[in-house]
C-alpha cells in the first residue's frame, strides 16, 4: 500500500513537473505572435488550417502557394491594415526583421509549429533572415558610398563612359544587391557601352540618393534599349549612381 502511495505521489510530481514545463514553453511565444495565431484562427477556413497543419515543413511544393495566398493576406490585412499592425511591425523590427515578406513567413512557420505542438524556435528563424540580409545590406551600403564618390568626382560638362549589362529583350538591366557583390563581367559582344556628357547632377530626398543626367555621344550597340526605353545618340537620360553599371 505504501509503495502504491509513493508511486502515485511520484506520478503526480512528474505530471505537475511536465505541466509546468509545458506552460513555460507556451509562455515563450511572444504575445504578438499569439495575436497572429488568433487572427489566423478567426480568418482562415478551418479546413485550410487542417491542410496547412498536416503539410511537412520541408515540402518544396507549398511555400509559393502560402506566400502568395495566406501570406499576402497577412501582409495586407494583418501587418498593414489592422489595429495591431503597428505593434506587430514594431515587434518584428525590434528583433531585427524589417521586411513584410519575412514577417509573414515567420508568422506562418511559427503557426505551423504551434499547430503541431512544436517549439517555434523564433530566434533560429530570425537568425536565418538576418544572415540572409547581412551581405545585401553591406552591398547596399557599399553601393551608396560608391555613388557619392562618383557624384563628387564628376561635374556638369564632364565626359564619361558607362558600361551596362544587357538582359532579355536586348535591353540594359541593373542588378540588385541580391548576391552581395558590386561586380559583374562586361561582355563587349552583348553588353552596352556608351560615352556621354553630364548635363545635370542632382539628389532626391537624400545626399546618398544621387543621379546624373547624361547626353549620349555614342553607343556600341545602337539598337539596344536602356531599361526598356529607346535612347539614341543625342538623347539625354537620367540614372541613379547607386548602380551596378560601370562608370568611368
Structure-derived torsion over alpha carbons of residues 165, 174, 214, 220, reported in degrees to the nearest 10: 10
pLDDT, residue 188, reads 94
Q: β-strand 159-164 against 246-247: which pairing, if any?
A: antiparallel
| SS3 state of residue 162 | strand
What pLDDT band is residue 67 in, cutting at 50, 70 and 90? Answer: confident
The per-type count for the chain, helices as H runs and strands as E runs, is 8, 7
Distance CA 4, CA 132 (A): 57
Average pLDDT over residues 6-21: 51
Cα four-point dihedral sign 173, 179, 182, 183: negative
Hey, what's the cell of 107?
Answer: 508568422
Q: How does residue 10 score in pLDDT terms, banded at 50, 70 and 90? A: low
Give the pLDDT confidence score for residue 62 in this predicted structure: 61
Kindly state the average pLDDT of the residues 110-133. 95
pLDDT at position 229 over 60: yes
Cα separation, 35 vs 25, whole angstroms: 17
Cell digits for 78? Answer: 494583418
Bigger pLDDT: 8 vs 170: 170
**Is there a contact between 178 and 136 (Cβ–Cβ < 8 Å)?**
yes
Q: With contact defined as beta carbons under 8 Å apart, do 195 and 160 qualify?
A: yes
Cell 547624361 belongs to which residue? 214
pLDDT at 14: 53
Q: Is the pLDDT of residue 241 over 50?
A: yes
Confidence of residue 25 (pLDDT cuts 50, 70, 90): very low
Please give the pLDDT value at position 213: 98
- Higher-confidence residue: 8 or 116? 116
Q: What is the mean pLDDT of the chain?
A: 88
Q: pLDDT tens digit string along 182-213?
A: 677 899 999 999 999 999 999 999 999 999 99
> For residues 109 and 52, what is the distance between their CA atoms, to the nearest angstrom?
10
Confidence of residue 2 (pLDDT cuts 50, 70, 90): low
Amino acid at each position: 500500500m505504501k509503495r502504491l502511495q509513493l508511486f502515485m505521489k511520484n506520478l503526480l510530481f512528474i505530471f505537475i513537473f511536465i505541466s509546468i514545463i509545458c506552460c513555460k514553453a507556451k509562455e515563450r511565444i511572444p504575445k504578438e505572435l499569439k495575436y497572429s495565431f488568433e487572427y489566423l484562427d478567426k480568418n482562415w477556413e478551418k479546413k485550410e488550417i487542417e491542410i496547412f497543419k498536416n503539410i511537412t515543413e520541408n515540402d518544396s511544393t507549398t511555400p509559393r502557394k502560402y506566400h502568395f495566398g495566406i501570406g499576402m493576406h497577412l501582409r495586407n490585412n494583418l501587418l498593414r491594415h489592422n489595429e495591431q499592425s503597428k505593434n506587430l511591425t514594431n515587434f518584428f523590427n525590434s528583433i531585427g526583421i524589417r521586411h513584410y515578406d519575412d514577417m509573414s513567413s515567420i508568422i506562418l512557420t511559427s503557426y505551423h509549429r504551434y499547430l503541431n505542438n512544436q517549439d517555434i524556435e523564433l530566434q533560429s528563424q530570425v537568425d536565418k533572415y538576418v544572415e540572409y540580409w547581412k551581405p545585401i545590406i553591406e552591398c547596399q551600403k557599399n553601393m551608396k558610398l560608391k555613388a557619392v564618390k562618383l557624384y563628387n568626382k564628376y561635374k556638369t560638362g564632364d565626359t564619361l563612359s558607362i558600361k551596362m549589362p544587357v538582359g532579355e529583350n536586348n535591353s540594359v538591366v541593373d542588378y540588385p544587391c541580391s548576391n552581395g557583390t558590386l561586380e559583374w563581367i562586361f561582355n563587349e559582344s552583348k553588353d552596352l557601352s556608351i560615352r556621354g556628357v553630364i548635363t545635370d547632377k542632382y539628389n532626391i530626398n537624400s545626399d546618398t540618393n544621387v543621379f546624373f543626367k547624361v547626353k549620349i555621344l555614342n553607343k556600341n550597340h545602337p539598337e539596344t534599349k536602356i531599361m526598356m526605353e529607346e535612347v539614341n545618340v543625342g538623347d539625354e537620360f537620367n540614372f541613379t549612381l547607386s548602380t551596378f553599371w560601370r562608370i568611368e
